[in-house]
Chains A and B, each alone.
Chain A
Amino acid sequence: MSILVVAEHDNHELRPATLNAVSCAREIASHLENSAIHLLVTGHDCATVADAGAAIAGIGKVIQADAAFLGRQLPEDMAPLLRELAGNYSHVLAPASTTGKNFMPRLAALLDVTQISDISAVESADTFVRPIYAGNALATVQSSDPVKVITVRATAFDAGETGSDRAPITSFEFSIEQDLSRFVSENLSVSERPELTSASVVISGGRGMQNGENFVLLEKIADKLNAAVGASRAAVDAGFAPNDMQVGQTGKIVAPDLYIAVGISGAIQHLAGMKDSKVIVAINKDAEAPIFQVADFGLVADLFKALPELEQAL
């Protein structure tokens, strides 16, 4: 049987996490015989996304479900749509984004199967590893369900490549009339910077930044390093930064080549979101701050002195 990967996108562009989910699917497929990988693109006017998906290495077919009511991917529409398709697949995968986390458990319940959340490794076609307790432990779990509904921790898998081969694109007609949920509005942050979860450099500020204006100090460095800017929960709660910048157990999971934590103490809930980064730098004036225990390079300094110096030196 085949594997279905649900693409993450905004109707125009494929989000990078899709490529990581495809890599995960390829790992699962390597434990199966003759298993193809199909990509599902649901949305509205999303042909460019389907095209982009068709070029991902390892994709045998793209299924495009395109309709006005699918434009926002509401779980009340997505789950019944996926239920119709799921019978043809041994695994259904989606990135563990706020979109995937929203509709995948709903799908699992409709199928009367468990969902396996946020997997970070594949041991076999039915056995997976997932972090629990804010990443303080890794659970190896085995599913005996006929369809495995899985969300994938994007940072734990390499991004799949795109090639010149194109998979065929088929369309899937689906209609449903539900009044359980209606889209009202969206308020999206716009940023010229790389996306937090896929940037190769991230610089994050914590409560030590003192206010939102001081985040400019981080942004200047981010400009030089082509970095994304993140924040601790304390910084978000204090209103220094919007919630979509929160890194951690209950925020975003990042694993860039370089993570710079500035004025962040290093609570386990924050570490849960960044401790798989390749190189971690901590700038904190308190030499005892727990962030230094995970940092490759620690600088004990006042950030208001260190940040302008760092900007100069780059």
Chain B
Amino acid sequence: MSVCVDPPWQKRHHCRPFSQGRVWVFMKILVAVKRVLDANVKVRVKADGSGMELANAKMAMNPFCEIAVEQAVRMKEAGQAGEIIAVSIGPQACQEQLRTALALGCDRGILVTAEGEIAPLQVAKMLRELVEREDAGLVILGKQSIDSDNNQVGQMLAALAGMGQGTFACKAELADGRILVTREIDGGEQTVSLKLPAVITTDLRLNEPRYASLPNIMKAKRKPIEQLTPADLNVDTDSNLKTLRVSPPAERAAGVVVESVEDLVGKLRNEARVI
């Protein structure tokens, strides 16, 4: 792919195909980052069934969002993007995850402050508004967050913004003013070509995220984070889906340790009758 270095005064932030199939380098990438319970923490359901026991638990950036940030940073390093904007929607504490994103190479942050659980449709509506305001050429999100396991926001955003979607991506590259996305599907892999601007959701094998260096962590402290509310984006955060209760899953009965392969095969044949 050849890259056209466009003079900044032309203010063409969009990534638009050039007549010879070239791409503007001032494309803005929007990445969404969610604050979730750290993947290594074991979590319990609250005794009253109202949710999870999260008080004082270690929180982190959703692992799939880390991959989204990494993808955006690599594209910028490759001269394919001009600016990366990280967006998080949630409580003030999401500043931590935005600072991490900034330390990893994002240029600025936007925090939309909202308390409680915000449903995917509402998140997608807010992102749609931001995509429009920022005139983003590409949006990269994680395929799912490891808390609510919904796997919805990217697809919903693509629908609302009228963009193509490359979900569960394990490879993404710009080509001739479009983006080629290889997707992990149940039967193997599928590659689609998307018109830009587009939405990509990341799978685990898209890349291996870097760690932030100390100097970059220091630098990130000076990068701007804009604060907005859902009302600023004209989005009502009420959802038509209510969580009535949360309960622990059924426990499995304790098993037995077998002494030998022979013992195992005997038990599978005669006790469990599964072979």
Contact = CB atoms under 8 A, between A and B. Distances in A.
Interface stretch (B6-14, B69-77, B101-109, B245-253): B245-253
B10 to A, nearest CB: 25
Interface in A262-278: 268-269, 275, 278
B17 to A, nearest CB: 11
A122 to B, nearest CB: 14
Q: How large is the interface on B (under 10, 10 to 19, 20 to 34, 35 or more residues)?
A: 35 or more
Q: How large is the interface on A (under 10, 10 to 19, 20 to 34, 35 or more residues)?
A: 35 or more
A34 interface: no
A84 B187 CA distance: 29
Contact of A313 (B153, B241, B249, B261): B261
A108 B165 contact: no
Interface string A50-77: 0000000000000000000000101110
B145 to A, nearest CB: 10
Contacts of A201: 274-275
A241 to B, nearest CB: 12
Contact of B150 (A102, A117, A233, A257): A117
A310 to B, nearest CB: 5
Contact of B249 (A115, A135, A143, A188): A135
Interface in A100-150: 101-110, 112-118, 127, 131-145
Interface string A232-247: 0100110000111000
Contacts of A310: 261, 264-265
Interface in A145-196: 145, 179-189
A6 interface: no
Interface of B: 37, 39, 42-45, 52, 64, 119-121, 124, 143-144, 146-160, 162-168, 170, 180, 183-195, 198, 203-205, 239-249, 252-253, 255-258, 260-262, 264-265, 267-268, 272, 274-275
Nearest first, the 8 closest Cβ-Cβ pairs linking A and B are: A180-B164, A105-B155, A109-B156, A109-B159, A181-B164, A105-B152, A188-B188, A309-B261
Given A188-B189, A243-B184, 10 more contacts: A98-B168, A99-B185, A138-B246, A184-B192, A184-B193, A189-B187, A237-B205, A250-B144, A297-B258, A297-B268
26 contacts: A72-B190, A98-B186, A103-B155, A114-B119, A114-B120, A117-B149, A118-B149, A127-B244, A136-B43, A136-B248, A139-B245, A145-B241, A180-B195, A183-B190, A186-B187, A186-B190, A189-B188, A242-B188, A244-B187, A250-B64, A250-B204, A258-B275, A281-B264, A296-B272, A297-B272, A306-B261
